[in-house]
Amino acid sequence: MTSKQDSSFSEEKEAKRLFPLDAAPPGARSEKFFGSFFQKRTSFLFRLLATGEGLAGLALLSALVAIALAAPFLAPGDPLAIKGDPLLRPWQNMAHPLGTDRLGRDVLSALIHGARTTLLVAVSAAAAALGIGITIGTIAGFLGGWVDEVLMRIAEAFQTVPAFLLTLALISVTGPRVPTIVLGIAIGAWMQPARITRAEILSLRERDFVAAARVIGMRPLEIAFREVLPNALTPVVSLAAVIVAAAVLIEAALSFLGFGDPNRVTWGSMIAEGRTVLRRAPFLSIIPGIGLVMTVLAVHLTGQGVAKALRTRRHMA
């Protein structure tokens, strides 16, 4: 036993003697350092892509984002302008590959421009919801006491009213424009991030680094937002995919009911428009819906892939 241990010891010494760290050529160490840095960054992406969901989701999502960004080049001109004969079927006339609607507007270019509105509204609404939720959750969790009690009761009240009705109420008071729609969706979605942030903050706020920050004289809210919050963000951010997906669906439902911004093409309004000729031209309603399904699917799969990749990192650590 002892002799085996001795031999391993000497092996280690031998290795150190043969490959001393100091003797490495000057460039090697920094290369190694940057290598590990990039590895950390890229290995997460690799793990994400290694999960089937992550790969499929990211591919779909980047395609959609590319289409949304390139909309003015892919489909120049106003998508609401009349371009040809009304109610052309898909593949009937190659100038309008996906056909035209009741008024003769091109379905493909409306579809491309609709991707813009959908992604814009959904991503900003989710960002706003996360912002509101994280702020309120941090304040509630860190201050505790009656502030926490009041804020959590308010969150509970918001969860009691159907979010879609809240959004509708806000839009009916302020009018259907993109900023109010974004705010309306966020108002119905901030509660879950707030709860999760609060729970994370509660588990962190008694740690030593918080006490240390108090000792050096930082103010409570400064500690909460600058010291505690960054450590509590991971579980909250993994909620982002769920919120974006929900926001896509809510925006679609709003514009389907006719409460979207009337000056923008959205997939929801295209479906509503097509519904009036559902019997004669069902493709007008079905095509934009496929766009919605693809978007939600992309966001959902990416979220699942991220969650899986985060889990494997935790297992490896």
Q: Note the residues at the interface with another protein (CB under 8 A).
A: 153-154, 156-157, 159-166, 168-173, 245, 249, 252-253, 256-259, 268, 271, 275, 278-279, 282, 285-286, 289, 292-294, 296-297, 300-301
Nearest Cα neighbor of 119 from 107, 130, 111, 131 is 111
Q: Which is nearer to another protein, 176 or 220 (CB)?
A: 176
Q: Which is nearer to another protein, 5 or 160 (CB)?
A: 160
314 to each of 48, 143, 220, 307, 317, how far by Cα in Å?
14, 30, 31, 11, 5
Nearest Cα neighbor of 270 from 279, 258, 280 is 258
Provide the minimum distance between the beta carbon of 160 and another protein in the complex, in angstroms, as a whole number. 5
Provide the minimum distance between the beta carbon of 93 and another protein in the complex, in angstroms, as a whole number. 23
Q: Which is nearer to another protein, 142 or 256 (CB)?
A: 256
Provide the minimum distance between the beta carbon of 309 and another protein in the complex, in angstroms, as a whole number. 17
Helices 267-275 and 283-316 sit at what angle, rounded to 10 degrees?
150
Q: Which is nearer to another protein, 187 or 232 (CB)?
A: 187
Provide the minimum distance between the beta carbon of 170 and another protein in the complex, in angstroms, as a whole number. 8
Nearest Cα neighbor of 174 from 183, 163, 162, 165 is 183
**DSSP helix/strand/coil, 261:** coil
Instruction: For 220-255, give one letter per residue: b (16+ CB within 10 A) or e.
Output: eeebbeebbbeebeeebeebbbbbbbbbbbbbbbbb
Provide the minimum distance between the beta carbon of 287 and another protein in the complex, in angstroms, as a whole number. 11
Provide the minimum distance between the beta carbon of 184 and another protein in the complex, in angstroms, as a whole number. 11
Please state, in angstroms and rounded to a whole number, the distance separating the CA atoms of residues 288 and 115: 9
Q: Which is nearer to another protein, 213 or 299 (CB)?
A: 299
Q: Which is nearer to another protein, 232 or 252 (CB)?
A: 252
